[in-house]
Structure 1
């Protein structure tokens, strides 16, 4: 993104924006210091709030926290017969989350005893160029949870298919529990990673460990081989880099 001319500021707070006829001056505070940027346009994307007003929830047992309706793993609220799914039921605010949540909810209503819906294995996908995709915990979150981790990384420049496609920029990172080998999280940036992330989603859903992933045969030549190499790297067995 930086090579494309994008400047990324983290841990930053927008203090004010002053609009003129042709530009906007934005004051941003970073680490206690104020910086002023003059730009053509400002786009604000600050998250989502639930559309829970005027639904008649006030006199019910439906609980609302931070504008979102509280539900269990089957979409049930505190009010019998009232269910909620999708964005109004909280993060992650993704279409595939809402769709699967709806299936689980309706199957529970129909008495089919589905598995309770969990958010830990929902993939996040950003359809930028390059694409970004992830599932599970970040390395930092895993450490904050007290987990001892093993981390593997593999760059696209080491993958023959990525080079042949003219897409050598990218990275796959995997995080494992050092004691159990459980796959805690996977993070990707690069060409078609929003397609490939599903491999790690399935792995987490099946509670796969590093042993199964290391023994899995990945087709050649494919970009997905970088997924295998990232797992191998976490255990000091990377082959092609």
Structure 2
């Protein structure tokens, strides 16, 4: 679902799905649709929050089922009041500011690079170090600032890249994706990339596969950069589905 285009009823591109906001039960509360995606930074800007019931699947993309001028207005009828207030507050205030900050940072970074090249053209080593540092840190900073957080809900952008830790404290994988059902309104599970550790228990989970899928119901808690399971490695084995990315 992530990366799929959303079209209006008259065939114009409305945006690209760049994030999912969903509950621990897997119910997708918001789709985050971006007008513009920055490839290297893997960020979407000029974003809109809409509910999944306002789009329908068509071939490899999605089509809005309402007038494209302001689909967020229809959210008033579709989602609980508390979640609506939290989501709309983010939509109305923070997203606009974040878009502005992102554009300023990108423009400032480019301007800084051009200035450094102009002034320190003879200092290629220093320039290389500065360039590598900037290109390494900027995406991480922007992703951290730009990830949406709504109390009581999970987001795709926050989960991807997080370590998965079992109930005994062992790292068993890294989240690489989530699996969404055919209807596009529910997240069914998390897809984990094989962790580098070579314990026998991990081999029992992954076998010869690089990826496995675990159901959301096994998640106990979500913290910064890590997801904690209710079960141990051995207890998780019956729920494992061997998967591909």
- TM-score, with structure 2 as normaliser: 0.30
Q: Which has the higher strand share?
A: 2
Q: Which has the higher helix share?
A: 2
Report which structure shows greater RCO (CA 8 Å, sep ≥6).
Answer: 2
Larger Cα-atom Rg: 1
